[in-house]
Structure 1
Amino acid sequence: MALNIPALISIAFFYVITLAVGVWAARRTKRLQAHGNHTEIAIVGGRRINLFVGLFTMTATWVGGGFINGSAEIIYLPGKGLLWLQAPLGYAIALTLGTLFFVTPMRSKKYLTMMDPLQESYGNTMTGFLFIPALIGDIFWFAAILSCLAAAVTVIMDIQNYLSIIISACVVISYTFCGGLYSIAYTDVIQLVFMIFGLCLCLPFAMMYPASRSIVSTSTQEVFQAPWLGKIETEYIGRWIDDMLYLCLGSIPWQIYFQRILSSSTTTQAKITSFVSAFACLALAIPSVLVGAVAVSTDWNQTIYGLPAPYERGEAGMILPIVLQYLCPAYVSIAGLGAVTAAVMSSADSALLSSSSIFGYNIYKKIIRKKASDKEVLVIMRISTVVLGSIGTGLAFLSNSVYDLWFLSGELMYALVFPQLLSVLFIPKTNTYGSAAAFFFGFILRLLGGVDSLRVPPVIRYPWCINIDGVYSQLFPFKTFTMLLSLLILVVVSYTTDFLFKRSILPRHWDICHIVKEKDIPPKTDAELLQMANTRNHPHHCTEM
């Protein structure tokens, strides 16, 4: 296949438009910074993001390249299907739970990042530890979605994937570097419009392709492969529940979510943004579902793609761009490529700003250099954007391995960070000792559960653990079990240490985390006061001791 010149021109035009909007937003950011707090404007847009832009940037952050490509892939894969498509519903529930329980307490104290309440309650050291899985998750996510874009560009344009990765990364890093949240928010508007338009334009052509059967008939009947509706085997119910809870709860403790929440003008607006985006996640999954269903319903032997089918070639992960390329006219597939590109970039920029914000504000300003000025923090954030973006770009060449590592880091966020955030906001008197115990115990327990995708065998084999082709797979909901156990340990250790130190059962000088304050010490009884007086009257008694 020769280089697709029209597609190249189209994607170049999209990049120019995106970069132009990002630079325009950066100029607005500079004007605001001339009269306000540099750090606050860069991280949360000075809390001035309006409802319209807020809705677009929240939705675009969740509905990214991994979302639209992964949804189509799940529908297409034999043995999966619609019943295993959990991300749209999981994200919608996560956004709803965030609206109901997390928006108000996070905004009430005017936090800048998700780590602020954790740093207030558990201290700088634990903040550093909790930042590690978040940082790794953002870097791997940035790398994974760049790989996703490279796959789409390779299919449609026949261009070397490293070129698309490097160019896309440079564009994203550039406008994130210049304008912070404002640049990301306004470019998200453009990207979401491109994505919706491109996918909706392609769908009718793909569904009416002569070699494709009706997706209604293939939903429950096997024609070319297993029905795309899918089914959940009885023995896999535990894993299905585990994955759903992981998406519903594990999707909350991410800076990319709270960055949008904290940037809204009012708490009411933040709640509306989060709640409406939940429905948008469900609605915007429909095009990907239909693309996957069309792929299941297509006789690939009657297309230019030919046999073997994409699944048999190991290309199921690229099914969306394959459908756009081989079942749509050339000019339509170009629009589809623009949709994929827009979706990818809308998530990539958010991941970069997320980690650079936490590092600049919570790590650099509050731990490394407490006297740093706002301008200095802004410089550190920009340097972090370039460094983290460069690392992610390099990792993007690992392709599938990056997705596996991102899933692992996401599970660590679920097991380690979610219980901590839940505790600090809703469970009083949890402390640093509980936080440390929960973090390290949860980390070890999760790793001992094994990692299927990386072929790391489990040391702890939970009930219903099976061995398929030499790879152990946990069917027990062990991710949620690890999270709940971590939460329990945090609460028990916190309340136990609080009791022991306040009652002086443990010596106060052992309290290295300083959880007991003077005001927390109970008043002394008359007997204790009399004993202290006698001790002062007989100082030689202490000397003899």
Structure 2
Amino acid sequence: MALNIPGLIAVIVFYALILATGIWAAWKTKKEEKKGNQTEVAIVGGRNMSFFVVLFTTTATWIGGAYINGTAEIVYLPTRGLAWVQAPLGFLSAFIIGGLFFAEPMRSKKYVTMMDPLQEAYGNTMGSILFIPPLLGDLFWFAAILASLGATVSIILDVTGYISIIISACTVIVYTLLGGLYSVAYTDVIQLLFMIVSLWICVPFALLNPASENIGYTAFNEVHQASWIGKIEAEYIGRWLDDFAYLSLNSIAWQTYIQRLLAASSTRQARITSCMAGVLSVVMAIPSVLIGAAAASTDWNQTSYGSSTPAERGESSMVLPIVLQYLCPTYVSITGLGAIAAAVMSSADSSLLSASSMFAHNIYKKILRKKAPETEVLCVMRLSMVLFGSAAAGLAFLSRSVYDLWFLSGELVYAILFPQLCCVLFVPNTNTYGSTVGFLFGLLLRLLGGETALKIPPVIHYPGCRLVDGVYVQLFPFKTFTMLVSLTTIILVSYLTRFLFRKNILPLGWDVCNIMKECNFPNPQPRVEGQIDLPLNSI
């Protein structure tokens, strides 16, 4: 296959448009920085972004290349199907829960990052340890979606994948570095609009191709029943519920999402835009579902792809670009490639800004250089963008391994960080001892549960654990179980240590985390004649 010159030109034009939008947003950022705190403008947009921009950038938080590619892949896979497409409903739940319950407590104290309440409650040392899982998650996520884009470009344009990885990474780094959240948010608007239009243009061509049967027929025909509608076997219900809970709850405990809640001009706006973003994320999945259904209903012998199916060639993960390339005209497939590139960049810039924001604000300013001026913090933030972005681009060449590492780091965030965030926001008086034990217990339980993708065998065999193709698979909802155990551990250990120190069962000299010094006991009041003293436990 020869180099697709028109497609290459179209992609270059698209990248130039995104870069120009990012640079324009950077100019707007400079104007806002003159009005107030430079760091807050770069990280949370000065907390005064418009409704429309916040809505689109919140939606783009999780609507990336993995979302639209992965949805099409799951619908296409004969062993999965539509019944296993959980991301749209999972993100809908996450956005609603986040908007209704997390927006107000995060905004009430004017936090700048997700790590602020953790450092405030558990101290800088514990806060810096809790920073590690989301940092790794952001890096691996950036790398994974760059690898996805590289594979897509190589299929449609016949260009070596590493070229698109390098160019995409450089473009994202430049405009994110120049404009912070404003550049990310405004480019998200362009990218999301382009994604919606481009994918819907491709859908009719994929469905009406002569090689494809009517998806309505294949959906309810016995031969095709498992192809794209799918079903959930009774033994897999626990696994399905575990994955759904993971998507619904874990998607909240990331700086990329919390950043959008903090950037809204009011708590009411944050709640409304978050809930609407959930609905929009479901709508965004519809074209990918239809494309996956078209792939499952296609006789690939009638196309230039060849006699083997994508599943037989081990290319199921690339089914969306394969459909665009072989079931759509050239100019349409180029449009679809633009949609995938837009999706990738909308997620990549968010991850880059997230990691650099937390490092500059929570690690450098709060721990390493507490008296650092705003300009210095901004310089560190921009330098970290270059370093993190370069590291992610390098990791992208690992391809499949990066996806596996991202899944594991994401599950560590679920098992470790989500319970910690819930405790500091909703459970009073949790402390550093509970946080530490909960962290260690959650980490240990998750690792002992094993990881199929990384070939880590399980030490703990939960109910339903079985050997499939030489690999142990946990059918019990052990990820959610681990999260709940971690949450319970934090609360119990926090209240137990507080009780032991308060009753002098443990000497205060052992309180190395100084939790008792941070307790605000009421000052003794002068005794009034005739006053009746009640014991504390009667109140």
> Which residue of structure 1 lines up, in the alignment, with residue 528 of structure 2?
none
Match of 1:430, SS? coil
Matches within 5 A, 1:58-207: 58-207=58-207
Matches within 5 A, 1:290-309: 290-309=290-309
Q: Which amino acid aligns with 1:63?
A: I
Alpha-carbon separation, structure 1, partners of 2:320 and 2:63: 15
Alpha-carbon separation, structure 1, partners of 2:220 and 2:477: 28
Q: Which amino acid aligns with 1:458?
A: P
Alpha-carbon separation, structure 2, partners of 1:390 and 1:307: 40
> Which residue of structure 1 lines up, in the alignment, with residue 311 of structure 2?
311
- The alignment status of 1:271 with 2:256, answered yes or no, reads no
CA 1:51/1:501 → structure 2, altered by over 3 Å: closer, same or farther? Answer: same
How far is the alpha carbon of 1:518 from its aligned partner? 7.5
Q: Quote the sequence identity (%).
A: 64
How far is the alpha carbon of 1:34 from its aligned partner? 2.4
Alpha-carbon separation, structure 2, partners of 1:276 and 1:509: 52
Alpha-carbon separation, structure 2, partners of 1:522 and 1:492: 24
TM-score of the two chains, using structure 2 as the length reference: 0.96
Alpha-carbon separation, structure 2, partners of 1:78 and 1:49: 44
Preserved CA contact (<8 Å) 1:68 1:285:
yes
Alpha-carbon separation, structure 2, partners of 1:124 and 1:220: 57
Match of 2:312, SS? coil
Q: Deviations over 1:269-302 (max 9, x none)?
A: 1111101001001111000000000000000000
Alpha-carbon separation, structure 2, partners of 1:398 and 1:519: 49
Which has the higher Rg, Structure 1 or Structure 2?
Answer: 1
Alpha-carbon separation, structure 2, partners of 1:178 and 1:480: 39
Preserved CA contact (<8 Å) 1:236 1:475:
yes
Alpha-carbon separation, structure 1, partners of 2:258 and 2:509: 38
Alpha-carbon separation, structure 2, partners of 1:100 and 1:273: 11
CA 1:446/1:432 → structure 2, altered by over 3 Å: closer, same or farther? Answer: same
Alpha-carbon separation, structure 1, partners of 2:272 and 2:521: 44
Q: Which amino acid aligns with 2:498?
A: D
How far is the alpha carbon of 1:443 from its aligned partner? 0.3
Please identify, of 90-99 and 57-66, the stretch whose mean Cα deviation from structure 2 is larger.
57-66
TM-score of the two chains, using structure 1 as the length reference: 0.95
> Which residue of structure 2 lines up, in the alignment, with residue 529 of structure 1?
none
Alpha-carbon separation, structure 1, partners of 2:394 and 2:518: 51
Q: Which amino acid aligns with 2:331?
A: Y
Q: Which amino acid aligns with 1:190?
A: I
How far is the alpha carbon of 1:409 from its aligned partner? 0.6
> Which residue of structure 2 lines up, in the alignment, with residue 363 of structure 1?
363
Preserved CA contact (<8 Å) 2:80 2:226:
no
> Which residue of structure 2 lines up, in the alignment, with residue 477 of structure 1?
477
Match of 1:113, SS? coil
> Which residue of structure 2 lines up, in the alignment, with residue 260 of structure 1?
260
Match of 2:276, SS? helix
CA 1:400/1:519 → structure 2, altered by over 3 Å: closer, same or farther? Answer: closer
Alpha-carbon separation, structure 2, partners of 1:352 and 1:522: 45
Alpha-carbon separation, structure 2, partners of 1:519 and 1:467: 51
Match of 2:460, SS? coil
Alpha-carbon separation, structure 2, partners of 1:238 and 1:266: 39
How far is the alpha carbon of 1:523 from its aligned partner? 8.8
Q: Deviations over 1:139-164 (max 9, x none)?
A: 00000000111111011000000000
Preserved CA contact (<8 Å) 2:152 2:318:
yes
How far is the alpha carbon of 1:519 from its aligned partner? 5.9
Alpha-carbon separation, structure 2, partners of 1:126 and 1:470: 39
Match of 2:226, SS? coil
> Which residue of structure 2 lines up, in the alignment, with residue 532 of structure 1?
none
Match of 1:62, SS? coil
How far is the alpha carbon of 1:35 from its aligned partner? 2.9
Preserved CA contact (<8 Å) 1:45 1:263:
yes
> Which residue of structure 1 lines up, in the alignment, with residue 219 of structure 2?
219
Q: Deviations over 1:405-424 (max 9, x none)?
A: 10101100000000000011
Match of 2:173, SS? helix
Q: Which amino acid aligns with 1:103?
A: A
Alpha-carbon separation, structure 2, partners of 1:153 and 1:388: 23
Alpha-carbon separation, structure 2, partners of 1:126 and 1:81: 42
How far is the alpha carbon of 1:18 from its aligned partner? 0.3
Alpha-carbon separation, structure 1, partners of 2:142 and 2:225: 33
Match of 2:298, SS? coil
- The alignment status of 1:468 with 2:435, answered yes or no, reads no
Match of 2:188, SS? helix
> Which residue of structure 2 lines up, in the alignment, with residue 372 of structure 1?
372
**Number of residue equivalences:** 524
Q: Deviations over 1:337-377 (max 9, x none)?
A: 10010011000000000010000001100011101111111
Alpha-carbon separation, structure 2, partners of 1:518 and 1:189: 44
Preserved CA contact (<8 Å) 1:415 1:480:
yes
- The alignment status of 1:517 with 2:512, answered yes or no, reads no
Alpha-carbon separation, structure 2, partners of 1:446 and 1:27: 45
Please identify, of 26-35 and 38-47, the stretch whose mean Cα deviation from structure 2 is larger.
26-35
CA 1:356/1:519 → structure 2, altered by over 3 Å: closer, same or farther? Answer: closer
> Which residue of structure 2 lines up, in the alignment, with residue 10 of structure 1?
10
> Which residue of structure 2 lines up, in the alignment, with residue 38 of structure 1?
38
- The alignment status of 1:408 with 2:420, answered yes or no, reads no
Q: Which amino acid aligns with 1:251?
A: S
Q: Which amino acid aligns with 1:351?
A: S
> Which residue of structure 2 lines up, in the alignment, with residue 439 of structure 1?
439
CA 1:381/1:519 → structure 2, altered by over 3 Å: closer, same or farther? Answer: closer
How far is the alpha carbon of 1:517 from its aligned partner? 2.3
Alpha-carbon separation, structure 2, partners of 1:492 and 1:216: 53
Q: Which amino acid aligns with 1:203?
A: V
Preserved CA contact (<8 Å) 2:501 2:508:
yes
- The alignment status of 1:280 with 2:288, answered yes or no, reads no
Preserved CA contact (<8 Å) 2:434 2:491:
yes
How far is the alpha carbon of 1:221 from its aligned partner? 2.3
Q: Deviations over 1:408-465 (max 9, x none)?
A: 0110000000000001111111000000000011101100100011111001111111
> Which residue of structure 2 lines up, in the alignment, with residue 27 of structure 1?
27
> Which residue of structure 1 lines up, in the alignment, with residue 386 of structure 2?
386
> Which residue of structure 2 lines up, in the alignment, with residue 494 of structure 1?
494
Preserved CA contact (<8 Å) 1:464 1:474:
yes
Alpha-carbon separation, structure 2, partners of 1:403 and 1:98: 25
> Which residue of structure 2 lines up, in the alignment, with residue 427 of structure 1?
427
Q: Which amino acid aligns with 1:482?
A: T
Alpha-carbon separation, structure 2, partners of 1:48 and 1:243: 35
Alpha-carbon separation, structure 2, partners of 1:225 and 1:466: 26
Match of 1:472, SS? strand
Alpha-carbon separation, structure 2, partners of 1:518 and 1:4: 65
CA 1:210/1:354 → structure 2, altered by over 3 Å: closer, same or farther? Answer: same
How far is the alpha carbon of 1:220 from its aligned partner? 3.0
Q: Deviations over 1:57-104 (max 9, x none)?
A: 111222111100000000001110011000110000010001111011
> Which residue of structure 2 lines up, in the alignment, with residue 535 of structure 1?
none
> Which residue of structure 2 lines up, in the alignment, with residue 530 of structure 1?
none
Preserved CA contact (<8 Å) 1:225 1:296:
no
